[in-house]
């Protein structure tokens, strides 16, 4: 057993981290907002970094890495709030030509979860192809053929939203088991993004708590504040262990129940992202409530990710079902 990041994984993480820090610095988020979501130049650079082809075999032109590696990569993307349908394009690498090399930007809608009626599509103007996941399979649609209207104020300023009239038809590119598998992999990758948010919000809040002074001392010297930060650290570590374990279990199902490991990751990392983002704003005080301080972008992104590939509650129900089966099996 070696649950730590390997040398290669550390290098992968460092590479992505320095790329994202240079290319999507936190103080540039208001600028990205003006671009309105997907930036094609950034997209092709992400493709060159291997973000989309990461898990394709080398024979198929990919990087040949596994799901644990992908979780590490998506954690870095989450830390910098890199905008765009990253997870969908990554998942589409096997299904849609041009997704892996970044020339085709693929978005998606998951209609296989509890919320199957809401017809909103993220990044509709910025994508070339649209995957629709239903319980009966995966369908590929032309986003330009959809009739709908842009909703003027998206909750996450970096994720534009359209309301469409229908999401029917399309070319079927996968069956029911492919759809289920895609949702599992998607949930694991999203847990990586959520872990990244939990990490970044703690980092920002910690830095602020050390520099901001009130009553003649850094606010981080007050237990009332430092205990908020300690709880953020615990949530981050819980999410990290769960997200890594989900990736490792997808890579080697012999170590555990894949559904259970992924659902554990999605529920715990989702909670860490939302709660840490909220706590981060609280630590920033009045400035945290402003648009200028980036803390709010994290909370708004975390809210959106909660609804991708199953909410925390849906996954919690899955975990309960897995535990029920397992405790029956052991009797």
How far apart are the C-alpha atoms of 28 and 184, rounded to whole Å? Answer: 32
Which one of residues 210, 211, 214, 291 is an interface residue with other proteins (CB under 8 A)?
210
Among 60, 150, 255, 287, binds other proteins (CB under 8 A): 255
Task: Report in angstroms how near the CB of residue 277 gets to other proteins at its nearest.
Answer: 17
Q: Pick left, alpha or beta for residue 138 (phi over 0 → left; psi -120 to 50 → alpha; otherwise beta).
A: beta
Give the x/- contact pattern for other proteins in 289-328, rule: CB under 8 A: -----------------------xx-xxxxxxx-xx-xx-
**268 lies in the site for other proteins, by CB under 8 A:** yes
- Cα–Cα distance, 220 to 96 (Å, whole number): 49
Asked if 14 touches other proteins (CB under 8 A), the answer is no
Task: Please say which residue, 21 or 324, places its beta carbon nearer to other proteins.
Answer: 324
Note whether 233 binds other proteins by CB under 8 A: yes
Distance between CA atoms of residues 75 and 70, nearest Å: 8
Instruction: Evaluate whether 285 touches 232 at the Cβ level (below 8 Å).
Output: no
- Decide: is 206 part of the binding site for other proteins (CB under 8 A): yes
Q: Is residue 190 part of the contact set for other proteins (CB under 8 A)? A: no
**261: exposed, middle or buried (Cβ count in 10 Å: 0-12, 13-18, 19+):** buried
- On whether the CB atoms of residues 33 and 156 are closer than 8 A, the answer is no
Question: Rounded to the nearest whole angstrom, what is the least distance from the CB of residue 319 to other proteins in the complex?
Answer: 4
Residue 144 interacts with other proteins (CB under 8 A): yes or no: no
> CA–CA distance from 287 to each of 195, 291, 292, 293 (Å)?
24, 8, 8, 6
- Is 143 or 247 the residue whose CB approaches other proteins more closely? 247
The interface with other proteins within residues 153-182 (CB under 8 A) comprises: none
Instruction: State yes or no: residue 262 binds other proteins (CB under 8 A).
Output: no
Q: Is 161 helix (H, G, I), strand (E, B) or coil?
A: strand
- Cβ(89)–Cβ(50) under 8 Å? no
Residue from 244, 297, 298, 309 that binds other proteins (CB under 8 A)? Answer: 244
229 binds other proteins (CB under 8 A): yes
Rounded to whole angstroms, the Cα distance separating 228 from 202 reads 10
Q: Which residues contact 321 (CB under 8 A, 6 or more apart)?
A: none
Q: Binding residue for other proteins (CB under 8 A) from 218, 278, 300, 303?
A: 218
Interacting residue with other proteins among 94, 240, 284, 301 (CB under 8 A): 240
**Cβ nearer to other proteins, comparing 244 with 309:** 244
Q: Is residue 266 within 8 Å of residue 113, measured between CB atoms?
A: no
Helices (H), 252-311: 258-283, 285-288, 295-306
The span of 18-26, 155-163, 181-189, 258-266 binding other proteins (CB under 8 A) equals 258-266
Pick from 156, 149, 115: nearest CA to 305: 156
Supply φ then ψ for residue 168, to 5 degrees. -90, 170
Question: Applying CB under 8 A, which of residues 227, 282, 289, 290 lies at the interface with other proteins?
Answer: 227
| Piece of the chain touching other proteins by CB under 8 A; list 83-91, 98-106, 222-230, 294-302 | 222-230
Judge contact between 105 and 130, C-beta under 8 A.
Answer: no
Residues 92-121 contacting other proteins, CB under 8 A: none
The residue within the footprint of other proteins, chosen from 11, 116, 234, 287 (CB under 8 A), is: 234
Identify each DSSP E strand in 142-269 by its residue range. 148-151, 161-164, 171-174, 213-214, 217-218
Binding site for other proteins (CB under 8 A): 1-6, 9, 68, 202, 206, 209-210, 217-218, 220-221, 223, 226-227, 229-231, 233-234, 237-242, 244-245, 247-249, 251-252, 254-256, 260-261, 263-265, 267-268, 271, 312-313, 315-321, 323-324, 326-327, 330
């Amino acid at each position: 057993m070696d649950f730590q990041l390997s040398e290669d994984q550390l290098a992968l993480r460092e590479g992505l981290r320095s790329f994202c820090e240079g290319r999507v610095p936190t103080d540039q988020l208001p600028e990205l907002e003006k671009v309105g979501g997907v930036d094609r130049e950034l997209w092709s650079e992400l493709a060159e970094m291997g973000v989309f082809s990461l898990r394709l075999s080398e024979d198929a032109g990919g990087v040949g890495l596994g799901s644990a590696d992908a979780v590490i990569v998506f954690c870095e993307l989450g830390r910098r709030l890199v905008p765009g349908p990253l997870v969908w394009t990554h998942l589409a690498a096997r299904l849609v030509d041009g997704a892996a090399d970044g020339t085709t930007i693929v978005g998606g809608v998951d209609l296989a979860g509890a919320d199957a009626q809401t017809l909103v599509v993220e990044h509709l103007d910025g994508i070339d192809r649209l995957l629709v996941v239903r319980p009966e399979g995966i369908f590929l649609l032309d986003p330009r053929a959809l009739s709908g209207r842009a909703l003027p104020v998206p909750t996450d300023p970096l994720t534009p939203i359209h309301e469409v009239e229908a999401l029917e038809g399309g070319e079927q590119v996968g069956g029911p088991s492919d759809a289920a598998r895609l949702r599992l992999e998607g949930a694991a990758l999203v847990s990586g993004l959520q872990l990244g948010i939990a990490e970044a919000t703690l980092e920002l809040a910690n830095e602020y708590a050390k520099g901001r002074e009130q009553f003649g001392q850094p606010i981080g010297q007050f237990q009332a504040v430092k205990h908020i930060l300690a709880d953020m650290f615990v949530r981050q570590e819980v999410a990290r262990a769960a997200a890594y374990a989900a990736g490792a279990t997808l890579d080697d199902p012999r170590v555990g129940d894949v559904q259970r490991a992924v659902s554990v990751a999605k529920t715990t990392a989702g909670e860490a992202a939302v709660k840490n983002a909220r706590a981060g704003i609280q630590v920033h005080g009045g400035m945290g409530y402003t648009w200028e301080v980036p803390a709010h972008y994290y909370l708004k992104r975390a809210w959106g990710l909660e609804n991708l590939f199953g909410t925390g509650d849906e996954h919690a129900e899955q975990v309960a079902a897995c535990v029920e089966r397992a405790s029956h099996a052991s009797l």
